[in-house]
Structure 1
Amino acid sequence: LAMILALVLLPAFADVLGGTANRAEPENSGMLTFFEPHTISGALGLTLAKLAAFFALMAIVGRRVIPAILHYVAHTGSRELFRLAVLAIALGVAFGAAELFGVSFALGAFFAGMILAESQLSQRAAQETLPLRDAFAVLFFVSVGMLFNPMILVEQPLLVAATFLIIVIGNAAAASAIAVMFGYSLPIAVTLGLSLAQIGEFSFILAGLGVELNLLPETGRDLVLAGAILSILINPLLFAGLDRLMPRLENRAPVRTEEEGRIDITPKLTTTSLTDHAILVGYGRVGRLVAETLQNAGQPYLIVEERQVVADQLRAGGVDVISGNAAQPGLLEAANVNSAKWLISAIPNPFESGNFIEHARATNPKLEIIARAHSDAEVEYLKRLGANLIIMGEKEIARSISEHILSNINAPDTTTPSDSESRLTSE
């Protein structure tokens, strides 16, 4: 959010700060850029007016038009067309934001993502664009690597060292201090500080914008890139040192009560009253069918769902739901895993399932655990962690096909092709 504010305000203040705002925007780039303000208040007012107009257009038109377009394209049944529509909407909104309102391309893409999230097809859109996101991420970091000047390490070693120390020590100290001010324990504050003791892709975007606006020399960008790369390289070593230091921090950390202002970062979970029930983790395509089976059989069940929108919909329908990740501390206890009869993992990631399967098995040795997998290695992994039954989709499909073939080999042909086709469709 802070980066968004910087991307909005930096071009507006470029002229006032001695830069060249026109370099970041093409000539006659926006329908709202009728004048160029020469004061900070004028630049701020114009920028906020542009941003408000863009946000109003997206809130009024985008929230209605874009979801409608996605639903129309989805009903055509073409996966390629849906993927193309998502890409065209995202790039179109970003380009329109930059051309019509003078908003940065990156900020326009951010708003496009917000609008796409309003659609019920947002999860499918995210899945369809995953290969594109991976490709763009690779291209982004390749371009960053091409911008990096390794000679800066030789020509300006002291400035590189200073930049590196500012990034690592400055970020870590600031984040840790803020955490302590808000009442977190010393181990948590230090862990948070080391987690933020580096800078990443947002700093590259901001540095690039500074160079385009003539607010930052290219040497400054080289220093930022060098400091960022070094901070990323050193971060695992810092955490390795933290592992050794953590026992001392925990011993020295003062014990605070609720009355003394200790903040509990674990979300409050309400324990279910169900017993002899089934705990179903995940309400996707597989979980939905399993839930219907449990419902029709009259078996009490509880759903653990990470997507808040889906959880709210289920809760409104009278289903017992716990919102969150099944691996988070205290969630399985809130699901009353001690008294549960089954634990069913319907999520597609077996290694994520392994985190809570191991905990559930240790908590309730009599629990019947069912999971899904995609390979023999994943089956062995889940079995080793305590799953009783692991379903591998490909094997089940092959088994069903094989059973149908074997049942018809050397059997008298008593059905017509249409009858056989309808039976297979119903199955």
Structure 2
Amino acid sequence: MHGDTILLMTFVFALVAAFAGGLVARALRLPPIVGYLVGGLVVSPFTPGFIGDSHAMNQLAEVGVMFMMFSTGLHFSLKDLFEVKGIAVPGAILQIAVGTAAGYALALAFGWTPQAGIMLGLSVSIASTVVLIKNLTDAGLYQTHGGRVATGWLIVEDLATVVILVVLPVVFGPGETSGAELASGLAWALAKTVAFVLLMLVVGSRLLPWVLGRIARFCPAELFQLAVVVIALGTAMAAALVFDLSVALGAFLAGVVVSGSKLSHRIAAEAIPFKDLFSIIFFASVGMMVNPVTLAAHVGELIALVALIMVGKWLINMVLGVVLSAGLRGTLTVAAGLAQIGEFSFIIGQTGMALGVLSSEQYTLILGGAVVSIALNSFAFKLIDPLERWIRAHGRLAALYERHAHHFEEPASDLHGHVVVVGYGNAGRCVTEVLNNLGIPCLVVERELEVAEEAEADGLCALVGDAANSEILAHAHLDGARVLVIAGGGDAAAEVIAHEARSLAPGLHIVTRAADADGLAALVAAGANEVVRPELEGGIELMRHTMIDLGYTPRQIEGYANELRASGYEALGDGAQAARRRAFARLAASLSEVELEWVPVDAGSIAAGRTLGELDLRAQTGANAVALRRDGEVALFIDAKTRLCAGDAVGLVGTAEQVEAASRLFA
């Protein structure tokens, strides 16, 4: 039975081990990826206990690659790709060339053959797209300019890998290969790549959204979910089987072409559970492939290889950032994101073994370098902010990266009476638009260069920098500002900004927002004067619209909302039912005001003994029944099922004519 269920057991035990490893990593404040990798090592053939089927896990891991790249395509438009092509295309090509040369030199220092050195160099030069997307997302950098450049950079590397995998068997295979055969093989691979891309962009961009739209309209929800899975995996497999491309590229293009659909947000939501589950399987499968005994025997070589992957590639990309004018923060993001290797390095290494160029020990060393670099890559992202501050403190060094960047006009030295808005997203734009119309000067602080340029194009004064991790607030003239509005970033960033602003300008009025009650308390402690909770304000608006539909007057509704706000946001949080009851009682008391007309239900009327639904009061008279008084008690929010009895009094809202018509039904 063990042999019959080895795939199921490997899948389950790997998930259990990854879950336990993730919890331990979380407790030790390490990235969860480290726990997933260790979990895979626990169930690998190279450790005591259960021996998992690493080959089967590798196949499941490919599903994780497909879903991760499909989700990436959903959020990465062709416009984004074209915008960064000037940096991503030459950057990827140069980095592959320089990285391969560095890996080749290291292999010769290890005593490897020149052929094995080329394999190591190619393996080192190609980073993992899955790891990049995961760490960009965790660091909140995926939608930034640097995140888009890094993603485009890796897409180019994926395309380059297709060419590399075509060339390797021709160059290192048995027998001699002529230049004509090599050129023919490359031309054929390029033709298939172009054909697939055109097929997806011309046909797929029209067909796939149309199919998903029809399924969403006429089929059950589970069929729509299944359609998303089929499109993601089916397109990836078609790219591999028909066009000899990577499944990652196929899945990415599938995501790109359906991202233009009106259902793109629903598609992304359906794909998230599969992406998260199988991405964990991917990292666990990587851990299963590592033989710790072999790595222990070559620990010196492993350290040198990891240093090349993480430090060497980082330095290479930092230099390329200067050459390509990628901007300081964008360069730091790319350098951190590409300081690792992953799935394509495994494929190149496996190809080297199949061609007899690499030995099993050499391949294991490449795997070990990949595992260590994946485990440590998230720490490279934590260095972005302190490194940015250090480089900007050295003006000449920072100028190398920013020499072609757009330079914003510094705020006037005598600027005062202005409002500083941190973040030019949807919320920040709403604030600045109103203030502009009122003639109140605004100063926008935005971390993303492109967004800051939009603010300047809208006629606003803008500063570029991360207000939570730089000295940018010192240039915002907070001592002369009337209000600071923190409209971007999460609660943690807003807390840092509020604390720094309060130290620079003790009398400044600070307005911000919080996701929950804990964030609200932390922001108040940091110095914020006004904290808005968008979710709770949305709840008040939902309540207001509902009560309007039920026929309550604006004065009554506003009174209820004001009572809740007057009690503080605590009255809207958990465990505050008593505060809500007090506000509700005041609402009930307001029903005696003139806006509400109480009409008695006579014993002989057609209304006595019937429900409001049976009377169809609103359709017949236009009046709304919003309350019922029975035996001295007032009931609110009555509905169509409420049955009227003789002696009741019904609270009606409407015009005098509508109330008069309803009164005749109760008489």
Aligned mates of 2:431, 2:325 — CA distance in 1: 43
Could you tell me which residue of structure 2 aligns to residue 103 of structure 1?
Answer: 245
| Residues 237/93 of structure 1: CA separation in 2 closer, same or farther (3 Å cut) | closer
Correspondence list, 1:377-388, <5 A: 377-388=518-529
Per-residue displacement from partner, 1:28-74 (whole Å, max 9, x unpaired)?
xxxxxxxxx98221111011101111222233234445566677788
Contact 1:148–1:226, Cα closer than 8 Å, also in 2: yes
Correspondence list, 1:297-336, <5 A: 320=460, 327=467
Per-residue displacement from partner, 1:280-301 (whole Å, max 9, x unpaired)?
63534x6676677667877665
SS in 1 for 2:170: coil
Per-residue displacement from partner, 1:301-335 (whole Å, max 9, x unpaired)?
5766778998898888x574859775375766787
Could you tell me which residue of structure 1 aligns to residue 423 of structure 2?
Answer: 281
Between 345-354 and 409-418, the greater mean CA deviation after superposition: 409-418
Q: Does 1:409 align with 2:588?
A: yes
| Residues 56/363 of structure 1: CA separation in 2 closer, same or farther (3 Å cut) | farther
Contact 2:340–2:370, Cα closer than 8 Å, also in 1: yes
Could you tell me which residue of structure 2 aligns to residue 268 of structure 1?
Answer: 407
Could you tell me which residue of structure 1 aligns to residue 482 of structure 2?
Answer: 341
SS in 2 for 1:279: strand
Aligned mates of 2:473, 2:215 — CA distance in 1: 40
Aligned mates of 2:497, 2:211 — CA distance in 1: 39
Could you tell me which residue of structure 1 aligns to residue 57 of structure 2?
Answer: none
Question: Higher relative CO (CA 8 A, sep ≥ 6), structure 1 or 2?
Answer: 2
CA drift of 1:358 comes to 3.8
Aligned mates of 2:288, 2:361 — CA distance in 1: 15
Contact 1:308–1:323, Cα closer than 8 Å, also in 2: no
Could you tell me which residue of structure 1 aligns to residue 343 of structure 2?
Answer: 204
Aligned mates of 1:160, 1:303 — CA distance in 2: 48
Q: Does 1:389 align with 2:568?
A: no
SS in 1 for 2:292: coil
Could you tell me which residue of structure 1 aligns to residue 157 of structure 2?
Answer: 3
Aligned mates of 1:145, 1:225 — CA distance in 2: 9
Between 95-104 and 335-344, the greater mean CA deviation after superposition: 335-344
The answer for unaligned runs of 5 or more in structure 2 is 1-152, 541-563, 566-571, 573-579, 599-623, 628-635, 640-667
Could you tell me which residue of structure 1 aligns to residue 293 of structure 2?
Answer: 151
Contact 2:286–2:371, Cα closer than 8 Å, also in 1: no
Structure index of larger Rg: 2
| Residues 343/118 of structure 1: CA separation in 2 closer, same or farther (3 Å cut) | farther
| Residues 98/339 of structure 1: CA separation in 2 closer, same or farther (3 Å cut) | farther
Q: Which one-letter code corresponds to 1:50 in the other structure?
A: K
The answer for unaligned runs of 5 or more in structure 1 is 21-36, 423-427
Q: Does 1:16 align with 2:170?
A: yes
SS in 2 for 1:416: strand
Aligned mates of 1:257, 1:306 — CA distance in 2: 16
Could you tell me which residue of structure 2 aligns to residue 31 of structure 1?
Answer: none
Aligned mates of 2:191, 2:477 — CA distance in 1: 53
Per-residue displacement from partner, 1:186-214 (whole Å, max 9, x unpaired)?
x99xx8999589524xx333213541672
Q: Which one-letter code corresponds to 1:13 in the other structure?
A: V
Q: Which one-letter code corresponds to 2:182 in the other structure?
A: I
CA drift of 1:385 comes to 3.0
| Residues 161/59 of structure 1: CA separation in 2 closer, same or farther (3 Å cut) | same
Q: Which one-letter code corresponds to 1:211 in the other structure?
A: Q
CA drift of 1:121 comes to 7.0
Contact 2:209–2:261, Cα closer than 8 Å, also in 1: yes
| Residues 370/207 of structure 1: CA separation in 2 closer, same or farther (3 Å cut) | same
CA drift of 1:105 comes to 0.2
Correspondence list, 1:22-421, <5 A: 39-66=181-208, 87-116=229-258, 129-157=271-299, 159-168=301-310, 170-171=312-313, 174-175=316-317, 195=336, 198-200=339-341, 203-211=342-350, 214-215=354-355, 218-231=360-373, 263-264=402-403, 268-270=407-409, 276-277=418-419, 279=421, 281-284=423-426, 320=460, 327=467, 340-347=481-488, 349-393=490-534, 397=539, 399=564, 402=580, 405-409=584-588, 411-412=591-592, 416-417=625-626
| Residues 266/381 of structure 1: CA separation in 2 closer, same or farther (3 Å cut) | farther
Computed over aligned residues only, the root mean square deviation of the Cα atoms, in angstroms, reads: 5.7
Q: Which one-letter code corresponds to 1:52 in the other structure?
A: V
Contact 2:196–2:243, Cα closer than 8 Å, also in 1: yes
Aligned mates of 1:73, 1:180 — CA distance in 2: 49
Contact 1:361–1:386, Cα closer than 8 Å, also in 2: yes
| Count of aligned pairs | 397
Q: Which one-letter code corresponds to 1:409 in the other structure?
A: A
CA drift of 1:360 comes to 3.8
SS in 2 for 1:53: helix
CA drift of 1:379 comes to 2.1
Aligned mates of 1:135, 1:192 — CA distance in 2: 26
Could you tell me which residue of structure 2 aligns to residue 28 of structure 1?
Answer: none
| Residues 69/165 of structure 1: CA separation in 2 closer, same or farther (3 Å cut) | same
TM-score, normalising length: structure 1: 0.66
Identity of aligned residues (%): 28
Contact 1:15–1:38, Cα closer than 8 Å, also in 2: no
Between 170-179 and 364-373, the greater mean CA deviation after superposition: 170-179
SS in 2 for 1:374: coil
Per-residue displacement from partner, 1:347-400 (whole Å, max 9, x unpaired)?
472113334434444444443222222333322332233321222356654847
Aligned mates of 2:484, 2:386 — CA distance in 1: 36
